[in-house]
Amino acid sequence: MLVRRAAMGLRRASTFPFSGRQREQHMSRAEANHIPASWRSLRLPRLEGWPSLALWAAAAACAAVLLLPTVYLVIRAFTASDAALQTLLRPRTWETVARTAGLALAVTAASSVIAVPLAWLTVRTDLPLRRLWSVLTPLPLVIPSYVGAYLYASALGPRGLLQQALEAPLGITRLPDIYGFPGALFTLTLLSYPYILLSARAALQRMDPALEEASRGLGSGAWGTFLRVTLPHLRPALGAGGLLVALYALRDFGAVAIMRYDTFTRVIYTQYRSFDRSQAALFALILIGLTLVLLMLEARLRGRARYDHSAATRPPAQVALGPWRWPALLFCGLVVLLSLALPAGVLVYWLVRGLLAGEALGSLGEITLNSVSAAAISALATTLAALPVAVLVVRRASGLTRALERLVYSAYALPGIAVALALVFFGVNYALPLYQTFAMLILAYGVLFLPQAVGALRAALLQVHPSLEESARSLGRTPLQVFVTITAPLIRPGFTAGAALVFLTAMKELPATLILAPIGFQTLATAVWSAVSEAFFARAAAPALLIVLLSSVPMALITLREHRDRP
Amino acid sequence: MRYRMPRRPVLAALIVSALVLAACGAAAPSTPATPLTVRETVEVPVTVPPQVIQETVEVPVEVPADSGSLVVYSGRSEALVGPIIAQFSEATGIDVDVRYGSTAEIAALLLEEGANSPADVFFAQDPGGLGAVAKAGLFAPLPEEILSRVPERFRSPDDLWVGISGRARVVVYNTDALQPEDLPADIWDFTDPQWSGRIGWAPTNGSFQAMVTAMRTVWGDERTREWLVGIQNNEPVVFESNAPIVEAVGAGEIDVGFVNHYYLYRFLAEHGESFKARNHFLSGGGPGSLIMVAGAGRLANGKNEENAKRFLQFMLSPVAQQYFASQTYEYPLVEGTVTAPGLPPLAELDAMALEIDMADLDDLQGTTQLLQDVGVLP
């Protein structure tokens, strides 16, 4: 505790708000001047010895498991027929690849346009009902895409609920078609923008207000400061959040299927549906390639800048919106209406209509328990597993750790069915006692969702300046003690955020659950799927609402605690 | 399992009737997975012809207390088959574990698991999935006493799987836009430009692909390609599955859709008679009037061989066949079962339906290839 206090003190005292190269220069100049030589050597011994070994061992184990889908796909792709290769080389295949990449980029851009103003409004301004908007705006993330797209289609379709409501008063008999690219863009953006919102909010909250104050002091206007100081500072947050959004769009199957837009994931599913696993594998490898390209883009966006601050943690000054608060309120209201109220409203409508038609609710108790326990255990396990990876990636930047980071994300764009079949392959052939057990399901969730946990932890670790750990080491703590007493408390918000993300994505996960869960193990997501696939919408409403409500709880609690910590 | 003639046919008949009644009665409140209340169908057991009863008494009569277990991989959703599997378990004392998924995914899973699969039975939604698993050599041949219950064309020619229930391809139409007499008898005629922008279809759907496979068998690849191009030229609205097509037709978003017959009845049950869509059964005898089966096979490496056979037997018993007829609105394949009210009887439908072996419907890769060449599939 004392050490932690000392570290906190140090944290306030030292300032390193510089980007990478500048900081190095600063250090060397400082070293040249006064700092004793022994301090310099402090940067080497941290994480040395057995904790370092253990760290590498844990990360290597993670990497091995994460490699399974890719290895499996390569094995399968080798058995692909010549016809499959020809299909691969058709121009149409590459048109689909281009179209998919285009959708992913458009969704990312549109999500940023929604998320950045929302983040700024809810963190930095005197927006009325700020706490409410903070809690509501990240929540669309809890809506499964196969449900969300269905709800949008049935609400906003040419003859959907909206049209039915408008027909009597306005005589509108048909709304414009939302299907195709616009529908896919609209749905995916509204379901995934919270990834950028969450990372942008975190970055804004921790940003050193001195930077903006200096800019204003030097004569820059509010806009100039935002564009020249704030926005560049958000780059890593936009990169990390944008990556998750883009990969979400790449891997998504439910929304693009319902919105009738042919993306590459649909091509892969078509192959699986005609029972051609080899061709599907060949195509899935392209998706991995596309992911690697996105990762390089993100790395470029992130640049070589470092964003750890040990400067003041005082809250930044609030911007008074004045009359601008009305358009701001309208904007927040519109986003929440479309992304949250509309889907939730349709679900409630289905539920009520079903109940009125005599649909029995049935017992969802056991299914709910299954969902929550699987999601909670995988949230904890996955985030713990992500810890060594994140520490290595942030604290031991090298070619090897960069490769490790790419590996973490490489399988993230794969459709769930490909990852699930990969684990079937290895489970059945090499780990039969484990096959189709609860542990296997947790492992599958880990492979699928580790990137989200690594992302959250990485962002948190980047904000903790190494000098804190170094000073604790210099005061005689072992690396493990340093981690437990200094680093862990500081990155706890990142840990809970990562765990909450894994929790809510595990709650809505479908393909791997269907294939890998212990037999007879049903979750809310499988219950929704079972009902929707046979057009029993009323019966789908209750489990879908439960997914939304239960996943909202941790999200809302995290946001509320943020507000308590930094009012 | 051997069949014995019942010693006391009257008592046995009573037991069967009671079981059928209990099955239908129990379906409504206690099992949330049944689609409908059974008001119209409670009387059905009374009309079961007596000779059917005599043939099949054994299933409910031989009920041992503990009969081991059974693992079923089901490509049919729990909403459809959950209740009847529960009845099987209750009637036989066999502990049944079911893994639900879509037929294609479950088939892919079985292919990946190979000989190590824990599954005893694969219950599939369409012949394509059964064909893929049969081709991989994972099914064991079924005994004659199971196979002989259904007409030859509704089962595998190699005796590897058997049809359980029938599903008719139909054209669902919007009743505001069209009358039955406006609709053609042959699915070919939908290539006419008058249908431009009015058609909905689901090219990724297994049943649709089975229909295209039937077209290839009957018409040949060239004419099938012409049909696909003709429909493409009419700019059909593309859906992911059958149910949304029926929903869109009911809402008037499109005028007609190519679907399986039973989805309509679920919408009628949920929305009432005012739902503005009805089925049109194509009578031309072409591939548009295909009857496909949902069926099942026994995995050769399954550990519970006897229970798997009993499962298949049960699914072909009057109780189960009646369940499919009245609860999922499908066609029973065993003669003598009564179809749901409002459905044309199978015999009538069969007369105008396409005569085709289900086994001819398993070349899905050829169909996918054609659909991709034409640009219908990505």
Residue A405 resides in a domain: yes
Same domain for A154 and A242, yes or no, is: yes
Asked if the Cβ–Cβ distance from A358 to B253 is below 8 Å, we say no
Distance CA A466, CA B39 (A): 73
Residue at which a domain ends, from A240, A275, A307? A307
The answer to whether the beta carbons of residues A105 and A290 sit under 8 Å apart is: no
Task: Mark residue B337 as left, alpha or beta (left: phi above 0; alpha: psi -120 to 50; beta: remaining).
Answer: beta
**Rounded mean pLDDT of B216-221?**
90
Whether residues A288 and A393 fall in one domain: no
What CA–CA distance (Å, rounded) separates A83 from A344?
A: 45
- B299: helix, strand or coil: strand
pLDDT digits (tens, 9 = 90+) for A159-203: 677 777 777 777 777 777 788 899 999 999 999 999 999 888 888
B49: pLDDT strictly greater than 50: no
**A331 in a domain, yes or no?**
no
Yes or no: say if A277 and B105 are a contact pair by the CB < 8 Å rule: no
Domains and CATH numbers, chain B: 9-166+295-343 (3.40.190.10), 167-291+353-374 (3.40.190.10)
Q: Are the Cβ atoms of B79 and A428 closer than 8 angstroms?
A: no
Under the banding of pLDDT at 50, 70 and 90, the label for residue B231 is very high
Please choose, from the candidates B149, B157, B138, B162, the residue with its C-alpha nearest in 3D space to the C-alpha of residue B296: B162
**Choice among A459-468, A513-522, B119-128, B364-373 with the minimum mean pLDDT:** A459-468
Same-domain pairing of A534 and A388: yes
Q: How confident is the model at residue A86 (pLDDT cuts 50, 70, 90)?
A: confident
The number of distinct structural domains making up chain A is: 2
Place of tokens 């990876």: A389
Is residue A21 very low, low, confident or very high in pLDDT (cuts 50, 70, 90)?
Answer: very low
* Mean pLDDT of the region A259-266: 85
Q: What is the 3-state secondary structure (H, E, C) of B318-363?
A: HHHHHHHHHHCCCEECCCCCCCCCCCCCHHHHHHHCCCCCHHHHCC
CATH number of the domain bearing residue A458: 1.10.3720.10
3-state class of A341 per DSSP? Answer: helix
| Residue A8 included in any domain | no
Q: What is the signed CA dihedral for A520, A510, B111, A414, rounded to 10 degrees?
A: -150
Tell me which H or E stretch contains A98.
Answer: helix A91-124
- Look at A538 and B113; give whichever has higher pLDDT: B113
A350: chain B residues, CB-CB within 8 Å: none
Q: Identify whether residues A54 and A98 lie together within a single domain.
A: no
Spatial separation of the C-alpha atoms in residues B31 and B87, rounded to whole Å: 11
Query: How many Å lie between the alpha carbon of A114 and the closest alpha carbon of chain B?
Result: 29
d(CA A128, CA A136): 14
Q: Using the beta-carbon criterion (under 8 Å), do B100 and A530 form an inter-chain contact?
A: yes
In this structure, the number of other CB atoms found within 10 A of the CB of residue B376 comes to 20
Chain A residues inside the 8 Å CB shell of B99: 514, 519-520
What is residue B148's three-state secondary structure? coil
Partner A contacted by B177 (CB < 8 A): no
Task: Give tens-digit pLDDT for A299-322.
Answer: 887 766 555 554 446 667 777 888
Predicted confidence (pLDDT) at residue B81 exceeds the cutoff of 90 = yes
**Could you say which of A273, A307, A341 is where a domain stops?**
A307
Backbone dihedral angles phi then psi of residue B113, each to the nearest 5 degrees: -70, -35
pLDDT at A538 over 70: yes
Q: Is there a single domain that holds both residue A406 and residue A554?
A: yes
- At B186 the pLDDT is 87
Q: Are B275 and B292 in contact (CB under 8 A)?
A: no
**What's the whole-number mean pLDDT along residues A532-549?**
85
Nearest to B96 by CA among B79, B77, B73, B124: B73
Q: Is the dihedral of CA B90, B92, B96, B98 positive or negative?
A: negative
Mean pLDDT score of chain A: 82
In a domain, A325, yes or no: no
* Same-domain status, A243 and A282: yes
Q: What pLDDT score was predicted for residue A16?
A: 33
Closest CB from A157, A360, A515 relative to B101:
A515
Average pLDDT over residues B156-171: 91
For residue B117, give the chain A residue with the closest CA. Answer: A428
- A373 with A493, same domain: the answer is yes
Q: At A430, is the secondary structure helix, strand, or coil?
A: helix
Is a pLDDT exceeding 50 seen at residue A46?
no
Q: What is the ipTM score, two decimals? A: 0.81
Q: For chain A, count helices (H), then strands (E).
A: 29, 0
For residue B200, pLDDT beyond 60: yes
Structural domain contains residue A470:
yes
Q: Are residues A424 and A506 in the same domain?
A: yes
B235 in contact with chain A, both atoms CB, cutoff 8 A: no
**Are residue A99 and residue A53 in the same domain, yes or no?**
no
Residues A108 and A63 in one domain: no
Range from A127-131, A253-257, A409-413 that averages highest in pLDDT: A127-131
Domain-embedded: residue A34: no
Task: Please say whether the beta carbons of A527 and A364 come within 8 A.
Answer: yes
CA B109 to chain centre: 21
Supply B346's token pair.
């199978």
Residue A3: the pLDDT is 43
More confident call, B20 vs B111 = B111
CB atoms within 10 A of CB A547: 25
Q: Are residues A275 and A381 in the same domain?
A: no
pLDDT of residue A544: 92
Domain for residue A317, yes or no? no
Identify whether residues A381 and A269 lie together within a single domain.
no
| 3-state SS assignment for residue A391 | helix
Nearest-CA distance from A261 to chain B in Å? 9
Contacts of A271 in chain B (CB under 8 A): 368
Range of the domain at A134: 80-307
What pLDDT is attached to residue B83? 94
Per-residue pLDDT averaged across B196-221, rounded? 90
Closest-approach residue (CA) in chain A for B372: A87
Residue A181 lies in a domain: yes
Q: What does the pLDDT average to over A479-506?
A: 87
Cα B18 to chain centroid, rounded:
26
Q: Which residues of chain B have a CB within 8 Å of the CB of A278? A: none
- Per-residue confidence (pLDDT) for residue B52, from 0 to 100: 38
**Average pLDDT value for residue range A442-456:** 92
Q: Which of A307, A342, A375 is the last residue of a domain?
A: A307
pTM of the predicted model as reported, rounded to 2 decimal places: 0.81
Strands (E), B43-132: 69-74, 95-100, 121-124
Res B82: pLDDT: 92
Check if B26 contacts A (Cβ < 8 Å).
Answer: no
> CA B110 to CA B163: how far, in whole Å?
19
